Structure 1
Amino acid sequence: MNNIRLIATIVAKENHENEVVSACKAMVKPSHKDEGCIQYEFHKDTTQPRTFIFFEIWKDQNAIDKHNETEHMKAFVENLKDKIELLDIKFIEKLA
């Protein structure tokens, strides 16, 4: 079975960029410890200053489901709910 890859794009509301960056950076270390996490990276878009991207690889859907139920994920979602304009998650497949 193939691993599951996803890209989560977050657009911060104006004047909330620093708070969003801090919250996102704080997710990386605990998420790496989640069972089934293969890769969990946080990036910024170099052309759109309020846009940030997580690139993630998970063992399977069960690992993602467990990650979504962790205390650090629940706190992350709660912390960002009034600070972001967009959260877009795309599941992707490596072709080459």
Structure 2
Amino acid sequence: MSIKLIATLTFPADQQDKARDALAELVEKSQSDKGCLQYEFFAIDKNVAEGEPVPEGDFVVLEEWWDEDAIEAHVATEHFQGFLSTFGEGEISLNIQRLLTP
């Protein structure tokens, strides 16, 4: 059974364009990683009705991997490590959730 992840990323307001560009490059390269079944990113819509909770994060990455080895190999790739090093300490907040089949 494949592994599905949702990565929620938060960046400072002045880093949004840089983050969008870096994520686009990361997605393009990651889609070719061995064991990658899905890898795409979306901006989180902050335009909510009055009284509605504002969603956390700025972007989400939807990922699906063949197995744990594929995830570990992805995290070790030059393009993933390069993405992380694009931002200084404290400029990126990353929360990863693993989805389970009920």
Same fold flag (TM > 0.5): yes
4+ residue runs over 4 A deviation? none
Query: Structure 2 length normalisation: TM-score?
Result: 0.84
State the aligned residue count.
93
- Structure 2: state its 5+ residue gaps: 47-54
CA separation in 1, counterparts of 2:96 and 2:70? 16
Q: TM-score, normalised by structure 1?
A: 0.89
Structure with the greater alpha carbon radius of gyration: 2
Q: Given that residues 10 and 59 in structure 2 are in contact (C-alpha distance below 8 angstroms), is that contact kept between their aligned partners in structure 1?
A: yes
Distance 1:34 1:26, change over 3 A: same
CA change 1:35–1:11 in 2 (3 A) is same
Provide structure 1 residue ranges, at least 5 long, that are not aligned to the other structure: none
Deviations 1:39-67 (A, max 9, x none): 00101111259610000000000000000
CA distance in 1, matches of 2:2, 2:23: 23
Structure richer in strand, relative to its length: 1
Percentage identity across paired residues of the two chains:
31
What RMSD, in angstroms, separates the aligned Cα atoms of the two structures?
1.6
